[in-house]
Structure 1
């Protein structure tokens, strides 16, 4: 297999962004390229064309590579449901929920088998595969059954580039320590080092680069700059949290309830392209303030997160906010919370069949959790009974266990192309609920919703911002920026001339 694996000295060193840039660099040279991460742990998922789930990062990397995302690019996805358990999504479909110990003890051989199958498919279909590791590859307590770092590099037989984050400090120790903890066989695969998130005067780091190369015998392939506000979807809530901090304040203040098991937070990323809108997370009533709009996002555990909202007394703030004319949008789990009640009929959300909890009672709806999860791409139009004008198509995807029934047969938000009536839209547009993830990625809808808020604040209305076009530009800018600071020819040489020296 022709490929390369990007591993990191720790989590959040920038592996996902580097893989994204490399995918765009290869495809821009006419090389058919696929991203790959054998095992991802994230509640931020991406629904493929055939209605399967993979990690959001690999979906974005596929976009950068100008190819259709598939389950072969992320065959194993772990979606945390609590501090102790995660749903195991295998080849895009949830198969079971396991503890960390249960996963290691019962899943390893199946995981290896699935990864080998995925690699064989990608090798047949693509010229180059750009792989991503996870966390640190030298977690000694986990190495005997790891499914995402050096074991995968061995299965694919590809070279490895090690990435370190200089912005967090300790870059020399992290690189040398990681290399020292590799076995001799693993160490032979490491053919380059990348220093990421560099700020300041590069000349001050020249002696350090020389020392690292002499100490390790591994060439430094580049010192990549810290990229501010790159606006490319992040893999986890840490990355999006950093993006929010960089955005600062703006005339339109949008508060997002930060649920403990928040999922698919990429739903809010299009607002980063709106100059007059700012996003902030709210975890506690003291942070609520006086927002212009509130978004209750998706969650991997709706009832647990609704209980959290009630424990924090955020439910009282939300209800009072709506009664005083505030704008609220609930997406997926957030939509379920807006209703009168939630019943865990199958025990699929809490493990307690029949458990019932009162919702926020802001819309006339009741949700019942089923055993099987719906995962599907959807398209639809504004429901003809709403005040919304024009037949604008909206598209997104649904991932949910619950089925929501409207207790009043009016107030639907969308009519899907299969004829199903979906979601809730209050007549004044100030309460919206829907199962459609990526609702705000529909540029015309986002503009319509924001213009309503602008009018209420006596702000000038604005034209539509086409975020996807801007996103494509961002992929190219990211790739060009990294290429300037990367020994691109040397990296390609490592890929094309790789041969493991036993």
Structure 2
């Protein structure tokens, strides 16, 4: 197989970003290129056009590579449901929920076969594969049965580039320590090092580059400056904090509940491109404040996160905020929490059968969890009963267990009319309260602008024209690629890619 693998000295070293950049550069040069990550642990997922669920990063990397995302690009997705267990999604469909120990002891051989099959499929369809590792390749307690770093490089027989995050500090120790803990055969695969997230004058690191190359005998392929505003969405809490840390103070204060098991928080990312909107993550009652609008995002464990809201006092804050005239949108699990009652008869949400939990009681409806997960791309329009002005078709996706049913005779209307003919979601009080299962809702530019302009009107702020987020996102990605190009020895990278396996 012709390919290359990006591994890191730690989590959030920038592997996803570097992988995306490599996919983009190769695609620009005319290669048929595919991203690959054998095993992903993230509640930030992506629905393929044929209705399968993979890691969000691989979906974005496929888009950057000008190709269609598929299950072969991320055969194993682990979605944490508690501190001890994760849902295992195999080839885009839920398999079962396992504890960390059970996964390690019972899934390994099945995982290896899934990886082999995926690699063979990608080799048939693409000229080159850019692979991404996870965490560090030298987690000694996990290394003998790992499914995502050096074992994958060995199965695919590809060279490895090691990425280190200089912003964390200790970059020299992290590089040397990682290499020292690799076996001789593993270390032989490491053909280049990239130092990532450098702030300041890169010329000041020239002595550092010389030292690394002298001590390791491995070339430094680039010292990459810190890049803000690129489209590569992160996958864990470290990435979330970094992604939104630069959110500015602005006239519209948008609060988002930071749930312990938050999922698909990329629903919020379009607001980063709205200059008059600030995003404020709220995880305790004292920080709630008086936002212009509140978003309750998706979650992998709806009832657990609802209980968290209650124990922290946030539930009472949300209820009082709405009763005092606040605007709320609940997406997926956030929509479910707004209902009067949540019923988990089969234990599919909590792991405990016959569980019932009172919701926030703002939407007159009941949510019942089911065993089968709904995973589809969806399209539709605003429901006629909302009375809203017509906007272009809305597109998104649904990933959820269970369904929500209103009580008869209650006020409110459906939010969307899907192309399938199904009325979806809840809408009332001129949009002051909305619930929907549609992820990616705010990526629909006309809808986002309509919703924000209502908030602007309420504050006597000027109305804004529609920002085309997809155009903006890919413009920023290409800008990032061009920013990186002078600092990356790209010809050397391609040399490693092309020459691997020809030495003997």
Q: TM-score, normalising length from structure 2?
A: 0.98
Separation in 2 of the partners of 1:347 and 1:207? 58
Q: 1:16, 1:235 within 8 Å by CA — same for their partners in 2?
A: no
Separation in 2 of the partners of 1:309 and 1:300? 15
Q: 2:34, 2:128 within 8 Å by CA — same for their partners in 1?
A: yes
Structure 2 counterparts to residues 1-20 of structure 1, below 5 A: 1-20=1-20
List alignment gaps of at least 5 residues for structure 2: none
Q: Deviations along 1:218-237, whole A, 9 cap, x unmatched?
A: 00001000112334322223
Separation in 2 of the partners of 1:69 and 1:231? 16
Deviation of 1:391 (Å): 5.2
Structure 2 counterparts to residues 257-406 of structure 1, below 5 A: 257-390=257-390, 392-406=392-406
Separation in 2 of the partners of 1:245 and 1:335? 26
Q: 1:336, 1:342 within 8 Å by CA — same for their partners in 2?
A: yes
Please say if 1:62 is aligned against 2:58. no
Match of 1:492 in 2: 494
Separation in 1 of the partners of 2:230 and 2:53? 25
RMSD (Å) for aligned C-alpha atoms: 1.1
**1:351 is paired with a residue of what secondary structure?**
coil
Separation in 2 of the partners of 1:247 and 1:230? 14
Separation in 1 of the partners of 2:357 and 2:417? 28
Q: 1:54, 1:77 within 8 Å by CA — same for their partners in 2?
A: yes
Match of 1:224 in 2: 224
**1:340 is paired with a residue of what secondary structure?**
strand
Separation in 1 of the partners of 2:316 and 2:483? 47
Q: 1:231, 1:243 within 8 Å by CA — same for their partners in 2?
A: no
Equivalences, count: 502
Separation in 1 of the partners of 2:264 and 2:371? 21
Deviation of 1:458 (Å): 0.4
Match of 2:212 in 1: 212
Q: 2:231, 2:474 within 8 Å by CA — same for their partners in 1?
A: no
Q: 2:391, 2:446 within 8 Å by CA — same for their partners in 1?
A: no
Distance 1:2 1:30, change over 3 A: same
Deviation of 1:203 (Å): 2.4
Separation in 2 of the partners of 1:250 and 1:339? 31
Separation in 2 of the partners of 1:202 and 1:445? 42
Separation in 2 of the partners of 1:262 and 1:451? 27
Structure 2 counterparts to residues 410-449 of structure 1, below 5 A: 411-449=413-451
Separation in 2 of the partners of 1:240 and 1:447? 24
Q: Following superposition, which runs of at least 4 residues in structure 1 exceed 3 angstroms of deviation? A: none
Match of 1:111 in 2: 111
Q: 2:386, 2:430 within 8 Å by CA — same for their partners in 1?
A: no
Q: 2:230, 2:473 within 8 Å by CA — same for their partners in 1?
A: no
Structure 2 counterparts to residues 103-142 of structure 1, below 5 A: 103-142=103-142
Separation in 2 of the partners of 1:160 and 1:482? 20
**1:403 is paired with a residue of what secondary structure?**
strand
Match of 2:256 in 1: 256
Separation in 1 of the partners of 2:402 and 2:337? 11
Match of 1:101 in 2: 101
List alignment gaps of at least 5 residues for structure 1: none
Deviation of 1:240 (Å): 2.6
Match of 1:170 in 2: 170
Match of 2:478 in 1: 476
**1:361 is paired with a residue of what secondary structure?**
coil
